[in-house]
Amino acid sequence: MTLLLDEIALATARLAEAGVPSPRTDAEEIAAFVHGVRRSELHTVRDCDFDALFWEGIARRAAREPLQHITGRAYFRYLSLEVGPGVFIPRPETEVVAGWAIDRLREMDVANPLVVDLGTGSGAIALSIAQEVALSEVHAVEVDPDAYAWAKRNIVELGQGRVHLHPEDMRDCLPELNGRVDLVISNPPYIPPGSVPRDPEVRDYDPARALYGSDEDGLGEIRAVERTARRLLRPGGYVVVEHADEQGTAVYWIFSEEHGWRDVRNHQDLTGRDRFVTARLGQD
């Protein structure tokens, strides 16, 4: 175990020098990936020379390639998902968004909740809802062919038959469900077109189509979510939409009373920053 710890310590120092935010964790995750064990099981690995694969992974991470691209996996709530180039890597803050939706669906007096996930990406939100809300039926919409392929792979791998994937645009998708849906959820692109993300992992590796929203303020897709949710939801149904921390007020007003929305609320993530807006479609 001494050699293993020494190699991880050296790798940690290299990642820290490169500015990686969680160098020890990432070094251990790469070591676990190379040895085919969980990070918590590294203590079971016998001392051995690390092969080139470990240091290749460390070099890639030091160059700020996302850890998830190196290991091919992203963890979201209770799921392990396949990810890679061409799909947005799900973030921890989105787990809070999905959690609110899951709690709300469990509270509904509905035997078989009908849910639509607009812009599903890897399928993280849709698959979490299907896994955690008994008897739910989830329709996941993704127009980008690369992201669609990753979502399909995850749905098949997890054997989740209650997630139905649709290669459609969120603006005019699923007309057959108009007025029937209990909850619409979305983590759409919302970065203004002129802005540049600070983190290289986001700026250089996440697909631009998943990052940058249309309209000057980046909220074009959130406006599209509002219109589509208004069309799909039954009276009393809910919409949940993620946004950047500085966009809470603007998104709040997109879901206006004039359009039939009620109980509009801003919600914060675990860091105390505005992260998503929820609203209920009026019943009058």
Q: Is 248 a known ligand-binding residue?
A: no
Q: Is 258 a known ligand-binding residue?
A: no
Residue type, 43: H
Beta strands in the chain (DSSP E): 73-76, 79-82, 114-118, 137-141, 163-166, 181-186, 233-242, 261-268, 274-281
CB 221 within 8 A of CB 214: yes
Q: How far is CA 270 from CA 18, 97, 153, in A?
A: 27, 11, 30
d(CA 152, CA 123): 8
Q: Is 12 a known ligand-binding residue?
A: no
CB 119 within 8 A of CB 188: yes
Q: Is 238 a known ligand-binding residue?
A: no
Furthest-apart CA atoms within the chain: distance in Å: 69
Q: Is 154 a known ligand-binding residue?
A: no
Q: Is 7 a known ligand-binding residue?
A: no
Which residue in the block uniquely carries the two structure tokens 């290289």?
200
Nearest Cα to Cα of residue 210 among 138, 279, 129, 145: 145
Q: Is 260 a known ligand-binding residue?
A: no
Q: Is 189 a known ligand-binding residue?
A: yes
d(CA 250, CA 264): 12
Sorted by sequence, the CB contacts under 8 Å of residue 179 that are 6+ apart come out as 231, 232, 233, 234
Q: Residues comprising the binding site for S-adenosyl-L-methionine? A: 119-123, 142, 187
Q: Residues comprising the binding site for substrate? A: 187-190
Q: Residues comprising the binding site? A: 119-123, 142, 187-190
